[in-house]
Amino acid sequence: MSTDRKSLEKALKNFPSSFKTIKDFLSLSKKYLELKLEVLQQELKEQETDKENTWTRMEKCRAYNLLSFLCYLVGNIEDALKYNKESLNVYPENAYPDNVIGLCNRGWFLLITEQKFKEIKNMCQRLDELKTDKTSMAIAKADIAFAYSRLGIQFYSEASKLYSEAILEAEDIEKNLESNELKENICIWSYGCALAQTRLFRTFNVCNKEDLEQPKEKVERVCKLLKHIISSNIESSSCKLLIPRAYVLLGEIASSIESKEILHVGLIQEVLLEDPELTVDGYYEKALKLQNNDIFVLDRCGMRFKFIHDLDKAIEILKKAIAIKESSINHHHLAVAIKEKVQSIPSRDDAVSVSRQLYEVLPHSDREHQEHSARREISAAARLNIGNKKKRLINSPKKVHKLDLIKNKDEIEEILKHLDKAIEIGMNNDAIYDKGLLLRQIGQLKEAEQVFKTLTRNQHRHTSLVVLANSYEQIGYCLQEAMETDKSDDPENDEEDMKMNFKRSLEISCEIVAKIPQLKDCWETAPTLQSLLEGNATTKEALKDLSFLYEKIRQYDKCIDTLKLLVSKAETNEEQIEYGQQIIQDHLKMERFDDSALSFEIICCLPEWQNLVDAKLFVKVFIESAYDSYEKGDSEVANLRFENAFDFCRSKRTLGQSNTKEMEFSVLVLCNPNDENNGEILVEVLNHLGIKSSLNIDGVVGFGRLKSDLLGDVVEQSNHVLVIYDFLQPDPIESKELNEFKKNVDIMRNILSDRGHGNVMTIVPNETVLSNIPKTWSRQHAVYNFSDAESETFLNVLSVKDILINLAIGANS
């Protein structure tokens, strides 16, 4: 690479572009990216033939920008350049495009294909001018948010965050600049932000632990965005279409609050708009009244009617939606509605009818009396039905309603047809899961097991935590049922596999319930596994084998008496933890990693566990068990275990503190630009393991790297730091660069010291460098041969295991 090309690359990295997301999007399979590309191409085709042509200029630009980038990701550079040109020519009369993402993307495309360097220089000059244009920069941020929102549920949180930032920036501009186009943009971004966040209110869409908690303030912010859309008087067709959709999203929020049994009348009142008589279903009815031909409105209303078991209405609406435009959602929910009708489920149970009364916040003078009566009426029904309602929310049944394949042949074929179409159109994980349930219901246990396994493999990186826990649990039930009905070809192995899958489900569900205690009774995994294994536990030795399973595991209380059956002589937490750790050490020696990790998950429920457990044992267990899960292909379980290991230091030092920040990165790799290759090797190994990591190189922006003046921010967002140091005898020319690097390391050390948690380790390429490490740096050192990071066929992830264990433990633990 020539010096000139290096300078152009460095310049491009200073501007927003789709390439900022490349690390995230390359984690997706090519097949998944191609599917998303086809969907967006179809939307563009429909828009071009639409006489009303509702898209705004901004919407056209962002669609072309994402299409262009997706073409590049799947290897079609020719179409990438074609769509990029379209994005820059949305307004041909504009001789100086202000489409920041389109300009910067074109610069990258030309640089990658090594052509038109002069044009790249001109683009960089134009981008430098646009850096001071707050409107263009806000649009660029929202453009990236749009890309994240279209690539799957694992990116909803990032999309919502970026949209929120863009809206705040644009609103600040709007105070001083009256612009209809800016008002349109804010309205459209408000909808995009609310849509992404509303999806996260549905627990089974959540892929990241930090997104499980949905505080009241977050719900209120989203409602405020939706109110803004409904009350806006913007004349554009695009914004008018968002009003009925906003009503639907408000209905989803109210429904989500209702289904989670968060009986908070005040919050429902805040959700209500100018029509205080609206019930939860009233939002959907209002949306249908405003717009009964919009596919989004029809799909969501069909889902709602299915949820409340008005199945005939749901089927009617979903069939109408399919006739207008097929979607993964309408095919999926039509299939489920037909199946529920075949099962003869009552159209509306008493619990739903009674609970809805609670949310009818009436405007009459005696409203307070009516609310009190509603609460009194619901109490008896809630006690009887709350468990069943939660089970429906999670939808992981231990026993399934059996369907006669011969008697219901036509209906089952129709259900499978719609499920397969939903999967084909959108790689819909919920549809895949429901297909597994249906196969289990008709007795095709092996086929059902294979369907659930496609979800646990998480090939396309968008299986949510709830679906993951459910899928492991359902595999266990398939194996259990096969053994009970003499359909198992290998009962001995199937029994072990069954237990392993129940353990996987139990571990993940514990993570979910830790964030949402209301869901503690939603899974049958713990009592099922306990009953299976306790039949063999007749001695104290056998009980040791079951230390992770005791009765109160499913209660998830903070003062849980986890090891009661085994440590009956223990009188204190200290003794319980001591005995528990002895069991864990035995499990670790026997390489029973699942048992070790699960036992620690239970110990973590005991009071003051952080101060009583052996930090080295804790970290070693979770990293060893993470590697074990990684090798078995259970990437999500591996990720959870790595996070537990790296978070131990922080949780110990922030004990009793509230609102502690979530860490964006588990590990920050800090290296001098001269060591960029080594840094990239190390980050690649870490990312391949699923460890959230970032590479920070002074003066370089993009691809997860930040400028040195932003070093403080990225260190604050990182749990631990690895410093790569390789300066035996630096040249005088490099001394300035070396001094700057040492300065950055000192800044980093001070940040970690001030906040009180986070470890740092220095990595050197050979023993001879050790003596040159500044004495002010970390006492933790490791010699690492970077050439060992790659084997002949694959990345050598084992090469960093000891480094990770020592880093997570820390020098002072």
pLDDT tens digits along 460-518: 667 888 899 999 999 999 999 999 999 999 998 998 899 889 888 887 887 777 677 66
Q: Is the pLDDT of residue 406 over 70?
A: yes
Q: Is the pLDDT of residue 783 over 70?
A: yes
Domain ranges in the chain with CATH number 3.40.50.2300 = 665-809
Domain ranges in the chain with CATH number 1.25.40.10 = 1-151
pLDDT at site 478? 96
pLDDT at site 380? 30
Q: 550 phi and psi, to 5 degrees? A: -70, 160
- From the list 124, 157, 163, 127, the residue with the least C-alpha distance to 144 is 163
Q: Is the pLDDT of residue 373 over 60?
A: no
pLDDT at site 269? 55
pLDDT at site 476? 94
Q: Is the pLDDT of residue 532 over 60?
A: yes
Query: What's the sign of the alpha-carbon dihedral 240, 241, 246, 247?
Result: positive
Q: Is the pLDDT of residue 227 over 60?
A: yes
What is d(CA 761, CA 810) in angstroms, rounded to the nearest whole number? Answer: 8
pLDDT at site 342? 92
What class is the 665-809 domain? alpha beta
Q: Check if the beta carbon of residue 7 is closer than 8 Å to that of residue 124.
A: no
Which residues are registered as beta bridge partners of 764?
783
pLDDT tens digits along 347-358: 333 333 323 322
Confidence class for position 608, pLDDT limits 50, 70, 90: confident
Query: What's the sign of the alpha-carbon dihedral 413, 414, 417, 418?
Result: negative
CATH fold group of domain 395-504? 1.25.40
What is d(CA 378, CA 753) in angstroms, rounded to the nearest whole number? Answer: 53
Q: Is the pLDDT of residue 739 over 80?
A: no
Instruction: Specify which of 112-126, 686-700, 725-739, 758-772 reaches the highest per-range mean pLDDT.
Output: 112-126
pLDDT tens digits along 108-148: 999 888 878 888 898 899 999 898 889 999 999 999 999 99
DSSP element (H, E) containing 271: helix 265-271
Of residues 52 and 159, the one with the higher pLDDT is 159
DSSP SS3 for 666: strand
Instruction: Order across the sheet with 781-783: list the strands.
Output: 693-696, 665-671, 718-724, 760-764, 781-783
Average pLDDT in the chain = 77
What is d(CA 338, CA 326) in angstroms, rounded to the nearest whole number? Answer: 17
Of residues 619 and 90, the one with the higher pLDDT is 619
By CB atoms closer than 10 A (0-12, 13-18, 19+), residue 420 is middle
What is d(CA 770, CA 762) in angstroms, rounded to the nearest whole number? Answer: 9
Q: How far from chain centre, in Å, is Cα 474? A: 22
Token code pair at residue 704: 């997860």
What is d(CA 740, CA 696) in angstroms, rounded to the nearest whole number? Answer: 13
pLDDT at site 270? 56
Q: Which CATH number applies to 1-151?
A: 1.25.40.10
